[in-house]
Structures are given as C-alpha cells and as structure tokens.
Chains A and B, each alone.
Chain A
Amino acid sequence: MPPVHRSVVYDWLRHDKKFPHVWCPGCGLGILLGSLLRALVESGLDKNQVVLVSGIGCSGRLPVYVDVGSVHTTHGRALTFATGIKLAKPELKVITVMGDGDATAIGGNHLIHAARRNLDITAIIVNNQTYGMTGGQYSPTTPLGAKATTAPYGHIEPSFDISALSATAGAAFVARSTVYHVTQLDQLLGQAIAKPGFGVVEVLSPCHTNFGRQNRLGSQVDMMKEFKRKGMRVERWRELPEGRRAESIPLGVLVDRDLPVFGQSYDRICDAASRRGEAGK
C-alpha cells in the first residue's frame, strides 16, 4: 500500500507543538503516530469528528501532537474520560491511546469493563513491556524472567496477554500488530476505527532505552527485527501445532464479532423509558 503522502499527514500534526517530538530516537510511538494519522486520513474522517484521549506515560504524549480534540488524562483513566465523551457526544469518533502499564495495571479495571460494555471506542494499547517513562519498572506485560529496574533478578510474575484479555472481556474487535509491520498496522487501525463497538489494537513497540537495555536486546532496530522474526499472520499461527505456538506472535485480526453496542442499547432504553413516561401522564 503506498503511504498517504507526508503533506497530508503533516496537516494532522499540531503545528504549535515543538518538533521533533519528545520520544527517544527510534521509539515505536512515532511510527504508531504516523500510522494512526494515515488511518484517520484514509478513513475519511474530519478532524472535528475525532477525539484522542490518553493517560500517563510515553504514550500519553501522542494525542498532544495531533490537531484534533485531545485530552491528556490521569494515569489509567483514558477510558473513563473517553466513556464520558462518547456518551455525551455519540457522533464523535473517540480513540484512546494507552500504554501497557496504563491500560492493564492502573487502568486494568476500566479496560475490562469498557470491553464488557462494548462501548463504541477504539483503544490503541502500545505494549512495550515496561514502564518506559519512569525508568523501566516491570509492568503487567513484562515477561516472566525479564529484567526491570524493579526486578533486577528477573521478573517473578507471568504476564498478561493484552489481546486475549480484551477478547475474553468482550471486545467486539481485537487485533495485534507491531510497529515493524507498519502497513498491516495502518490497515488494522483503520478497521478498528470503522468497527462499531469496542475495538482494541495491541501494538508491540520497542522500548530499547529501558526494556531493551536492561535485557540486552540491542537497539530498536534489533528489537524490530525480532518482531519481524517472530510475527506471524494469525491465520497461519492457528495452524501451528500447540507446542510450537509460543515461538511466534500471532498478528492480524484476532477477534471480529458483532455484539450489541452500548450506545445503541442505551438509546433504546431511553426511548422505552420516555415512552412509558408519556403513557403514564
């Protein structure tokens, strides 16, 4: 797929912000930002129709750079603000950008309940397996045995699978990609944005500065090559024998199902209640 031209993407950047942006050289968040802008442009949405909401962490800075309505909220609470925005103004396209710590630790409860409710919100969860901004503490997605500043002898807890968690909790759409698989990422973001209901896109992204350094994984180029080596289309991955699945990371659309969307159910309830109210007069 040829990229949407830079000048078009440029148009969606917030021009009074300081560039280059704050992220480390090579950080996947910049690649995701480009991908999201291309997906938004491709989806034909107007800037005034889009709201980006983020929590705290490196990912929290992303909406700040985009020339749409944006809210940089407290830690883990992106989905709560997004819920309010969506219910107050259902015509808006509400997209949250969260990190793994933001979405599955402090905001973990909000994530599962937003998925269960199936609110019409797109949740982009950037998984770099660590708390990058605060110096590389372990997060709920830090793999068992991996090093972190708070796990100098290796992490003793198993990790969450963000996509599996979201699917189990009831999200209508769940997809996974990496910042290396950027053309696929563009498409998946577009699909998630178009999907009515709660859409989760888990984006694997390298934090070479903290997670990579502590675990001797090399530069972000090395970490992205690892995504390339391990990434496999989910259709192919499902054909692998059970014993070999752990070696690869399934990428693509993991779940796509039609479920009752919260906003529509809510409208129906309001209609029914007001009809009964009228009848009782």
Chain B
Amino acid sequence: MSGKAARPKPAQTGESKVSFFPAWCKRCGNCVAFCPRGALKRDQWGYPVLADPDRCTSCGLCEMLCPDFALSVGEAGPKPAGAGAPRGSRVAPTTSPERLAPEPNGGEEDGNG
C-alpha cells in the first residue's frame, strides 16, 4: 500500500484544522510548546486548544510531537462508534482506539466556525 497516494490533504481553511482527543491526552504540553506559530494554548485544565486558528498553517508538527496520538491535523480521525463518547469525556470508555476518541474537540466549539 502506498501511503503517499492515500494521504488526505489537510484542510487549509474551514472548520477544525486540529482535532483533539482528550481521552488520550496526558497534558504534557509538547504540542503547545513546539507549535512554531503559537497557535495552541492550554485550557484551564492543561489540555490543548487551538486558540488562534488563523495562525495555524496545518504544518502537523503538533501531531508529530504528541507522544500520545491525542491530536490530529487535517481532517478528523476515525469517528467514535455509536453515539460517541460523552461530551468532554476524559475517561477511556473502551479499549478500542476508535471508540476511545471522543468527538473532535470534545464536541465543543473550537472558535473556528
């Protein structure tokens, strides 16, 4: 399989450039510290949010430097099965990655649209 051909293009504009999966996030701060554009900030709990979507160039560095696969640049990752994780869930409901991933951005507004 060629990864190259199958790779979806990251969204340049529009809704969510960065999707967060808080159930896997350990709040280490790598993504916020190393975003070259300073687009990410920590919320009051220490979880990353895309504070300044206009600054984000979809470079993908935050995704690559996240040790926990807890965020994704471009299109949203696999959707949770069924109704999805409860809004803002930070507890792993199952061991399946798809189902672990809550709705991108925890179903919350990311200030992007």
A binding-site residues for B, Cβ under 8 Å? 2-10, 13, 15-21, 23-31, 33-35, 38, 41-42, 44, 46, 179-180, 182-183, 186, 219-221, 224
Contacts and interface: CB of A to CB of B under 8 A. Distances in A.
A27 B26 CA distance: 10
Contacts of B8: 5
Contact of A20 (B4, B24, B98): B24
B2 A44 contact: yes
Given A6-B77, A9-B69, A21-B68, A221 B95 contact: no
Interface in B80-96: 92, 95-96
Contacts of A5: 7-8, 72, 74-75
Contact residues on B (Cβ < 8 Å of other chain), bracket = 35 or more
Contacts of A18: 92, 95
Interface majority SS (helix, strand, loop, mixed), chain B? loop
A112 B67 CA distance: 30
Q: Report the 10 A-B pairs with minimum CB-CB distance, sorted nearest first.
A: A30-B67, A26-B28, A25-B26, A6-B72, A25-B28, A41-B3, A3-B60, A221-B33, A182-B64, A20-B24
A3 B73 contact: yes
B7 A8 contact: yes
B10 interface: yes
B69 A34 contact: yes
22 contacts: A3-B73, A4-B3, A6-B72, A6-B77, A8-B7, A9-B69, A13-B97, A15-B98, A16-B95, A19-B92, A24-B26, A25-B28, A26-B29, A27-B67, A30-B66, A31-B66, A34-B64, A34-B67, A34-B69, A182-B64, A219-B29, A220-B28
A7 B78 contact: yes
A172 to B, nearest CB: 25
Contacts of B23: 20
Given A19-B92, A27-B67, A34-B66, 13 more contacts: A6-B77, A7-B77, A10-B69, A10-B78, A25-B27, A31-B64, A31-B65, A44-B1, A44-B3, A46-B1, A182-B65, A219-B29, A224-B33
B22 to A, nearest CB: 10
Contacts, number: 115
Given A20-B92, A26-B26, A220-B28, A6 B69 contact: yes
Contacts of B74: 5-6
Contacts of A13: 69, 97
Interface of B: 1-4, 6-8, 10, 23-30, 33-34, 60-61, 63-70, 72-75, 77-78, 92, 95-98, 100
Contact of B30 (A19, A38, A220): A220
B99 to A, nearest CB: 9
B68 A8 contact: no
Nearest to A186: B64
B3 A183 contact: no
Contacts of B75: 5
Contact of B68 (A4, A15, A30, A182): A30
A4 B1 contact: no
A10 B28 contact: no
Contacts of B2: 44
A221 B3 contact: no
